[in-house]
């Protein structure tokens, strides 16, 4: 069994135990009336008062004991929601992928190969917060599928959004652009993404303008050139 799954299951069991202890610690439900034992003791101690209208006996200064029904229900809901949320995360990240994998092989069998997602491992690493592992897996896909721009895009995204390293993200996109002779749409995508990083993250307008001008020069009379020209106007560069 996966080590991380075991750890998360142990955490889940611990949460269930803590939730149970919290509920037990709240004690029994609040008493509406004194018990017979309390009434007898009060009579002995002469703490009984009688309602003149109804003739009912009561204990002077008696206060209900225990937790109210409302408080128990509220705490119970919070405990259940917390445990359920954690259980849902564990199920979605660790259990569900294995179930899907087993059912896939059950339906297709060994005689019919199922087309595997080459980026499955990378996405699994990412879902578990293992960003370095995800980057390494995406790099492997980039080597195996040099015409696919998506692995490079995902690496740059992780470096910027999850690792907070815009310089590494920029370097990744530049390396990708230089790795092969890309189709027009792919190369333009890389260049626009680079311009966004320089403008929005690095606050480097001159570099942004330079990249957009290259797009106009490299891809004249295309939608990419038109989009770059529009951005240059917004930046006041033309």
Task: Check whether residue 169 and residue 193 sit in a common domain.
Answer: yes
* Residue 198, CA distances (Å) to 14, 33, 129, 178, 209 in order: 47, 72, 26, 18, 9
**115 inside domain:** no
State the average pLDDT for the chain.
85
Three-state DSSP class for residue 222: coil
Q: Which residue has the higher pLDDT, 216 or 103?
A: 216
Residue 132 clears pLDDT 90, i.e. is over it: yes
Task: Check whether residue 80 and residue 173 sit in a common domain.
Answer: no
Q: Which residues pair with 50 in a beta bridge?
A: 57
The pTM (predicted TM-score) of the whole model is: 0.54
Q: What is the pLDDT of residues 202-217, one digit of tens each?
A: 999 999 999 999 999 9
Q: How many domains does the chain have?
A: 3
Confidence of residue 22 (pLDDT cuts 50, 70, 90): confident
d(CA 153, CA 172) in angstroms, rounded, equals: 8
Kindly state the helix (H) or strand (E) to which residue 58 belongs, with its residue range. Answer: strand 57-59
Arithmetic mean of pLDDT, 112-127: 79
CA 113 vs. chain centroid, Å, equals 32
Task: Check whether residue 146 and residue 184 sit in a common domain.
Answer: yes
Residue 110 clears pLDDT 50, i.e. is over it: no
219: containing domain: 122-234
**213 inside domain:** yes
Task: Check whether residue 104 and residue 162 sit in a common domain.
Answer: no
Residue 113 clears pLDDT 50, i.e. is over it: no
Task: Check whether residue 153 and residue 98 sit in a common domain.
Answer: no
**117 inside domain:** no
**15 inside domain:** yes
Return the pLDDT at 176.
97
Confidence of residue 87 (pLDDT cuts 50, 70, 90): confident
Q: Which residue has the higher pLDDT, 145 or 47?
A: 145
> CA quadruple 100, 106, 110, 113: dihedral positive or negative?
negative
Task: Check whether residue 100 and residue 7 sit in a common domain.
Answer: yes
Three-state DSSP class for residue 226: helix
Confidence of residue 115 (pLDDT cuts 50, 70, 90): low
Return the pLDDT at 117.
81
Q: What is the pLDDT of residues 135-173, one digit of tens each?
A: 999 999 999 999 999 999 999 999 999 999 999 999 999
Return the pLDDT at 235.
95
**84 inside domain:** yes
Task: Check whether residue 152 and residue 184 sit in a common domain.
Answer: yes
Confidence of residue 47 (pLDDT cuts 50, 70, 90): confident
Residue 112 clears pLDDT 50, i.e. is over it: no
Return the pLDDT at 99.
75
Return the pLDDT at 32.
59
Return the pLDDT at 104.
63
Confidence of residue 111 (pLDDT cuts 50, 70, 90): very low
Return the pLDDT at 46.
76
Task: Check whether residue 78 and residue 102 sit in a common domain.
Answer: yes
């Amino acid at each position: 069994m996966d080590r991380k799954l075991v750890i998360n299951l142990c955490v889940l069991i611990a949460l269930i135990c803590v939730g149970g202890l919290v509920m037990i610690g709240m004690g029994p439900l609040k008493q509406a009336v004194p018990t017979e034992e309390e009434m007898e003791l009060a009579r002995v101690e002469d703490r009984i008062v009688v309602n003149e209208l109804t003739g009912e006996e009561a204990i002077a200064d008696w206060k209900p004991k225990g937790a109210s029904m409302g408080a128990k229900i509220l705490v119970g809901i919070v405990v259940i929601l917390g445990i359920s949320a954690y259980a849902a995360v564990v199920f979605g990240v660790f259990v569900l992928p294995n179930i899907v994998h087993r059912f896939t092989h059950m339906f297709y069998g060994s005689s019919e190969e199922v087309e595997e997602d080459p980026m499955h491992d990378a996405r699994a690493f990412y879902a578990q917060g293992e960003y370095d592992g995800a980057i390494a897996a995406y790099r492997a896909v980039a080597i195996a599928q040099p015409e696919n721009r998506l692995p490079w895009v995902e690496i740059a995204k992780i470096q910027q959004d999850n690792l907070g390293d815009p310089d590494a993200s920029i370097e990744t996109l530049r390396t990708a652009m230089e790795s092969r002779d890309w189709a027009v749409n792919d190369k333009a995508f890389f260049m626009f993404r680079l311009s966004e990083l320089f403008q929005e993250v690095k606050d480097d307008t001159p570099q942004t303008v330079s990249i957009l001008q290259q797009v106009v020069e490299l891809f004249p009379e295309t939608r990419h050139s038109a989009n770059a020209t529009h951005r240059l106007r917004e930046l006041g560069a033309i």
